[in-house]
Chains A and B, each alone.
Chain A
Amino acid sequence: METSQAMNQALMKRKRNGQINIKSGNKIDSAVKWTIWVLTVLTVISFFFFDYTGLQLERAITETAHNLRVMFLEPGLSHFGWGEAFYQVGITLGLGVLATVFGAIIALFLSLMAAENLSKPWLSKTIRIIVAFIRAVPTVLWVLIFAIAAGLGSEAAVLGMLFHSVAYLVKAFSEAIEEVNPGIIEALRATGSSWWHIVVHGVLPSTFTYLLSWTFLRFEINFSVAVAMGAAAGAGGIGFELFMASGFYFDLREVGFITYAILIIAIVLEVISTRLKNRYFPSSVKA
């Protein structure tokens, strides 16, 4: 008994005032603490170094409020009609669909090679490294890179989005495939099935719903990227109109209208994908 108490005494960590410490007191804890302190201090100091010349606080606030009110409470179209607006939203959706559908098909084949339970270790590692590299570069950059060959426009936008979608989906798909019960693969192997038989009749039926919901999730992302690409890469669609309305015509009402249009589509997509997620990923919601 006494020895165990002595042991406990040796294990306990105490604060300077003698109280027993319940934090482990490791390096991570203190690093986090110090980071937060330093950031707080820097933020406070930075307020004293801003350039305040020409700032009329009262006017700035009222005018911003006015602009926002015009934008969101009086939306309207002046440079194009409803039909054209729908058509432009359709173009943006089309860019997203193209990139997602082609991306999903290519990613399916690559993910079969990247999944460790279906592939050779060297092949799976190689694909994973390449794909990780592609994912690390933002979509916009890929679009601009492809613009060198395809010229700024929808072709470059679709190619760049496709490239990034493939990389994203290969990771998601191959992880879904790796969660297939190894017993199923073993049983099919033991009947003398070839690799394609196992993939088509064992792996795909078990993962199909996962693959579908991941694809839809990516479509949601691709839609918002397509809006940005319309402006940044001249890919057309509603994003380009938004860019023209705000940067060219300074038409706040039109900006408001377009924002609402994009918002409605985004909400519809979000609702569908949440439903898919709840249906097929009941336990863990993967974002």
Chain B
Amino acid sequence: MPLLKVEGLGKLYDGETKVLRDVNFEVEAGEFLSIIGPSGAGKSTLLRCINRMVEISEGKVIFDDLDVGEMRKKELRKLRTNIGMIFQHYNLVPRLTVIENVLHGRFGYKSTLQGVFARFTEEEKERAFFLLDKLGIAEHAYKRCDQLSGGQQQRVGICRALIQEPKLILCDEPIASLDPNSSKVIMDYLKQISTEMGITCLVNLHQVDVAKEYADRIIGLKKGEIVFDGPSKLLYEDQIENIYGIETRELITV
């Protein structure tokens, strides 16, 4: 049984602009999957339909045998605790400490009052330190997030997603604002998470080379439609050309 099943997914903005049309794919548990495509192809929208940060217009998204589109408020919160998310701009609360930001990942498991008064158990705090240590930033735990570099902030973002104990992690351009060195560190950690912890990863990427190097499978998106779906090693020049609409050597690939 696949972990995630997307059937005939379509998304309209303002009732007319069609961002996604008839998207179909399945993801098995433990896969490392990358979605590539030019800007405006609908990659971010596709990710946000999976945890319903945007409403689904057509078709179905089935996660763990449950229909995401049909969920009520409470079920939706439960779904989101099972799906971690990582963003291009990290989206941490800059004035709070690293450890506080990591523990924000536990809110999905908390009642309103527990969350408002930040009642975290000692196990949760220990788990947070364990994850920070795993990503090599435990010594920054009590620093404010705006004092950290981009690469370090993204690692805090990964910790926040991991402490949710998710089955799936959605990464929306995780390395688009980072230098090549930090990009490699982040991608290595993501790969490590998927192999060691068996967490499924869905990564939106601009960089074709990075996708080919890290992902088991690649989905190519063009104008809201899937134009390629297969193992990364089967993605050849002509398909990349088809996805991006120009020849690869004209692309600046970092």
Using a CB–CB cutoff of 8 Å, the interface residues on chain A facing chain B are: 181, 183-184, 186-194, 196-197, 200-202, 205-206, 208
Contact = CB atoms under 8 A, between A and B. Distances in A.
B164 A184 contact: no
Given A186-B53, A201-B104, A201-B118, A191 B91 contact: no
Given A190-B53, A192-B164, A205 B104 contact: no
B53 A194 contact: no
B115 A197 contact: yes
Contacts of B1: none
B127 to A, nearest CB: 15
B45 interface: no
A200 B91 contact: no
Contacts of B94: 206
B93 A194 contact: no
A209 B191 CA distance: 40
Contacts of B118: 201
Given A196-B112, A197-B112, A191 B81 contact: yes
A191 B107 contact: yes
A184 B92 contact: yes
Contact of B93 (A186, A190, A201): A201
Nearest to A190: B85
Nearest to B106: A191
A192 B109 CA distance: 8
Interface in B76-96: 77-81, 83-85, 87, 89-96
B105 A191 contact: yes
Contact of B87 (A186, A192, A194, A201): A186
B110 A187 contact: no
Contact of B91 (A184, A192, A196): A184
B78 to A, nearest CB: 7
B91 A194 contact: no
A197 B115 CA distance: 6
Contacts of B34: none
Contacts of A196: 112, 115-116
B5 interface: no
A202 B100 CA distance: 11
Nearest to A188: B104
Contacts of B110: 197
B160 interface: yes
A202 B160 CA distance: 14
A104 B243 CA distance: 54
Contact of B85 (A181, A187, A205): A187
In the A-B complex, the 8 residue pairs with the closest CB atoms? A192-B108, A187-B91, A183-B91, A192-B80, A193-B107, A190-B85, A192-B81, A197-B115
A190 B84 CA distance: 7
B228 to A, nearest CB: 27
B87 A193 contact: no
